[in-house]
Amino acid sequence: MKSVFSAPGDYIYFKSQVPLHRIPIGTKQWRYYDFGPKVVTPLICLPGTAGTADVYYKQIMCLSMKGYRVISVDIPCVWNHQEWIQSFEKFLDAIDVHHIHLYGTSLGGFLAQLFAQHRPRRVKSLILSNTFLETRSFAAAMPWAPFVSWTPSFLLKRYVLTGIRDGPHEPFIADSVDFVVSQVETLSRDELASRLTLTVDSASVKPLLLSDSFITIMDTNDYSAIPQQLKDQLSERYPGARRAYLKTGGDFPFLSRPDEVNLHLQLHLRRVGLEAQPELVQSIPKDGTGGGPSKENDKEDRDDEQKDNGGNPESNSEESQPSPSAPESSESHGLDEQLLSNAEIHYINQKDSIILKPSAMSMNQHSAAAGILLQSTWEFFIFSLLPLYVDSLYIYSNNAWKLRQLV
């Protein structure tokens, strides 16, 4: 990991365009991004133990410009799974959202399944990535779990960070790790303790009323903090679910492989019947909400948020930044359509597996690159052999002249 973290340029742009909302619901403070056409059933992204609402900024920027509504939330300070279900339902009511599609990674995927189990009428589909069905193995690996709420912040952060695999990484994976580490540094002691408590609190997901055909399991094939045994249990629980395999990506493919993840998300949403509304992108209000209300402005930091937890729930909202750039051109949407149409579904052991085939554009790029390489190689040989040819020609002509004099 890098000792000094510099925020990526696209993240800085995202922060300048998409407002952060904070809304108090009871004693809980919800922190979230909400962007995209309000009339579209939202895709809600739930992060893992080390994540925040910010880690899905690449999905928010991409999918909202395609006409989807994306909501990314922080997991608030809740101390048991029943409290999570009730608090999340109150949050949905507060932002006037009734039906949702859930995308959860790691702990977020587990919490998404629990909510789908207890509130089946609200959850239309699930996308689960590097997640699990039960917490027993995590509780066994953390014998000091009963004391987590009294543990100092620096120890909690150290414990969370030890679960993130340290280098060497591919550049994009290394950048994703650095970004998540920077987000962990923003979490308070209570937030860390709450998430670790949810991870080790004894619970398991019971069979869902949601059909397997409305579930996509998206996993990375290189490595993740979730043991392979737990990922296999998840696959066995949902034998009819679609499989989306990412060759690499690590623990945070939504950051390290955003293009692939975004395409798989679009494939899933289309398959479950959610149609994007790209024609409504231009009509998104300039406050950037496209959905629920904003209770506080984005310029307040987490320290202010902690101070406001017991304050007045009615807070003012500043004039937000202008919405992101205009919708992409028809050529760009045409390319997305081509990429999606080129996605082929293979049946492996009676399980659906989604594998993205190379697009025509990428094939043309490869052909162009091969042509450039061939031309460069040809020029190299020409300029390397030309001096040898001239030298040989000189020697031949000199010898011919000497032979003519002798004759």
Q: Which residues contact 111 (CB under 8 A, 6 or more apart)?
A: 46, 75, 81, 84, 88, 104, 198
331-354 pLDDT per residue, tens: 445 545 555 555 544 433 444 555
**Please, which pLDDT band fits residue 281 given cuts at 50, 70 and 90?**
confident
DSSP-derived secondary structure letter, 120: T
Q: Share the mean pLDDT of the chain.
A: 79
- Token code pair at residue 54: 């910010």
Domain count along the chain: 1
112-146 pLDDT per residue, tens: 999 999 999 999 999 999 999 999 999 888 888 88
Instruction: Please give the residue range of the domain that contains residue 133.
Output: 18-273
In a domain, 343, yes or no: no
In a domain, 170, yes or no: yes
User: Of 91-95, 256-260, 313-317, which range is least confident?
Assistant: 313-317
**How high is the pLDDT of residue 6?**
74
**How high is the pLDDT of residue 40?**
97
Q: The domain that contains 159 carries what CATH number?
A: 3.40.50.1820
**How high is the pLDDT of residue 318?**
35
In a domain, 348, yes or no: no
Helix 258-271 vs helix 57-65: angle between axes, to the nearest 10 degrees? 50
- Tell which wins on pLDDT, 314 or 233: 233
In a domain, 120, yes or no: yes
In a domain, 133, yes or no: yes
In a domain, 358, yes or no: no
Reported pTM: 0.74
In a domain, 349, yes or no: no
150-159 pLDDT per residue, tens: 999 999 999 9
Quickly list DSSP for 54-117. Answer: GGGHHHHHHHHHTT--EEEE---S--SHHHHHHHHHHHHHHTT--SEEEEEETHHHHHHHHHHH
* Residue whose pair of structure tokens reads 């019947």 in the numeric block: 273
In a domain, 41, yes or no: yes
CB neighbour class for 85 (10 Å; exposed up to 12, middle 13-18, buried from 19): middle
10-65 pLDDT per residue, tens: 999 999 999 999 999 989 999 999 999 999 999 999 999 999 999 999 999 999 99
